[in-house]
Amino acid sequence: MKVIILYGSENDKNFLQIGKDYLNQEQIPFEEKVLSVHRNFDELIVYLKDVQSQNEKVVFIAAAGLSAALPGVVAVKVDAPVIGVPVPGGPLNGIDALLSIAQVPGDVPVVTVGLHKKAPLNACMYAHKILKMGE
């Protein structure tokens, strides 16, 4: 069991640090990968298929700004839970990312956390709770 943190951009990694600190403190295994829906779509799809084929229990945390397509695309391609983390930035300071995640169409289950500096902590704590259910 582990958490997989996906970033839409290398620039998003620092924003998630508070959550990664929590995962390390709680000794929860996690891995990180930067795969943009817009720049690395094919690589993202191959990666998600590979994760699915391993039959390991995972929770995805997908951090993205602006259009924030990453959480929805991940949710369409995997059976595992997906937590979207909107990253502040751009002309709307992340409001567009928050709304993009919150308004993913029906039949694409994604949860989102708020838009503040502790949102990544909330996402990682929630992922931890989900993993505990599988113990």
Mean pLDDT of 28-48: 96
Whether the Cβ atoms of residue 129 and residue 114 lie closer than 8 Å to each other: no
CATH 3.40.1710.10 assigned to 2-133: no
pLDDT tens-digit map of 57-114: 999 999 998 888 999 999 999 999 999 999 999 899 999 999 999 999 999 999 999 9
- pLDDT value at residue 135: 72
Q: How many CB atoms lie within 10 A of CB 42?
A: 8
Of residues 70, 63, 117, the one with CA closest to residue 85: 63
> What would the pLDDT profile of 118-134 be if each residue is shown by its tens digit?
999 999 999 999 999 97
Q: How far apart are CA 23 and CA 39, in angstroms?
A: 28
Q: Which three-class secondary structure state does DSSP give residue 67? A: coil
Q: Quick one: pLDDT at residue 66?
A: 86
